[in-house]
């Protein structure tokens, strides 16, 4: 049951966070492997310009580009990740002492392990989500390689027919560190924050308030650690590939970090899209983890 609840909470969060995810993806692809002064046209310079550019060329629907891939990824990823984390917690591995205090180190390890398992299964959906979100109806506003998929099913079918199962896991070397780092920081920070603020009467009596505050703090901290890996994953998943399935821009995550750092600089290159990523992550963590806590409470009440 914990796995299903994790998947449902992920879908709820993904639906509301998808708009900022589209802006984040396009900002991360804007000026790819180019020095800043070489980029003359910047339609996704900031959040305001991103919204303006997307609506101008694609209408309001453009702000929800790739939603089908987003929901598929969030359901598969979070059902496995949160379900695994909760199961291990229920088995007592997170080592609560007589005062109910968590082991931070074990939370980090279990969070990272849960993220690794989840993303190993959900990787193809993240790739398709990224490619769909980067697609623009106008060549003037297009950034990155344009795959021209018609939708989630078409993208999965086309990729499989062209490159087989291996093609669906292209960029796996980038998505693993992204989600292992993100999940370990997110779940350990969330669990620790919830435990600390739970000592106060206002939060100890309300799962909702405790989850909201914990999620907002968790989103900010996770964004700082995860954004460079997130940018690398976006670049690697969206890059063009040859007919025999070879990557044409980045061989692996190490090659991606070296090339981006040399041409764009580490901070400027890998922290592109930081603010939309932050505004995506905060409500996503807020809704995902809050819904997860609430679903678990309802499930316990139902069993009683």
pTM (two decimals): 0.85
Task: List pLDDT tens digits, range 234-244.
Answer: 999 999 998 88
Provide the pLDDT confidence category of residue 102 given band limits of 50, 70 and 90: low
90 vs 130 pLDDT, higher one: 130
Fold of 2-293: Mitochondrial carrier fold (1.50.40)
For residue 104, pLDDT beyond 70? yes
Where are the domains positioned within the chain? 2-293
- In DSSP notation, the chain reads -HHHHHHHHHHHHHHHHHHHHHHHHHHHHTTTTS-GGG----TTSSHHHHHHHHHHHH-GGGGGTTHHHHHHHHHHHHHHHHHHHHHHHHTTTT---TT----HHHHHHHHHHHHHHHHHHHHHHHHHHHHHHH--S-GGG--S------SHHHHHHHHHHHHHHHHHTTTHHHHHHHHHHHHHHHHHHHHHHHHHHTTSHHHHT-HHHHHHHHHHHHHHHHHHHHHHHHHHHHHHHHS-B-TTS-BSS-SSHHHHHHHHHHHH-HHHHHTTTHHHHHHHHHHHHHHHHHHHHHHHHHHHHHH-
Task: List pLDDT tens digits, range 12-43.
Answer: 677 778 999 999 999 999 999 998 888 888 99
Provide the pLDDT confidence category of residue 179 given band limits of 50, 70 and 90: confident
Average pLDDT of the segment spanning 92-103: 66
């Amino acid at each position: 049951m914990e796995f299903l609840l994790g998947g449902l909470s992920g879908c709820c969060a993904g639906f509301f966070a998808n708009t900022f995810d589209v802006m984040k993806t396009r900002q991360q692809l804007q000026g790819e492997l180019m020095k800043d002064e070489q980029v003359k046209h910047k339609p996704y310079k900031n959040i305001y310009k991103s919204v303006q550019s997307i609506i101008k060329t694609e209408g309001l629907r453009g702000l929800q580009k790739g939603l089908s891939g987003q929901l598929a990824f969030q359901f598969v990823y979070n059902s496995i990740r949160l379900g695994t984390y909760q199961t291990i917690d229920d088995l007592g591995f997170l080592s609560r002492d007589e005062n109910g205090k968590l082991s931070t180190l074990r939370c980090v390890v279990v969070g990272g392990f849960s993220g690794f398992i989840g993303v190993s299964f959900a990787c193809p959906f993240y790739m398709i989500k990224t490619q769909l979100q980067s697609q623009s109806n106008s060549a003037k506003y297009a950034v990155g390689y344009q795959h021209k998929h018609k939708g989630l099913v078409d993208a999965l079918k086309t990729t499989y027919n062209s490159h087989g199962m291996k093609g669906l896991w292209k960029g796996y070397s980038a998505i693993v560190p992204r989600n292992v780092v993100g999940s370990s920081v997110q779940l350990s920070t969330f669990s620790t924050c919830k435990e600390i603020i739970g000592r106060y009467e206002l939060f100890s009596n309300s799962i909702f308030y405790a989850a909201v505050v914990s999620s907002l703090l968790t989103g900010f901290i996770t964004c700082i650690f995860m954004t460079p890996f997130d940018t690398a994953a976006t670049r690697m998943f969206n890059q063009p590939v040859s007919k025999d399935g070879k990557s044409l821009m980045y061989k692996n995550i190490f090659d991606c970090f070296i090339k981006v750092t040399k041409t764009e600089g580490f901070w400027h290159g890998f922290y592109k899209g930081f603010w939309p990523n932050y505004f995506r992550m905060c409500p996503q963590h807020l809704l995902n983890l809050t819904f997860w806590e609430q679903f678990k409470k309802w499930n316990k009440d139902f069993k009683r």
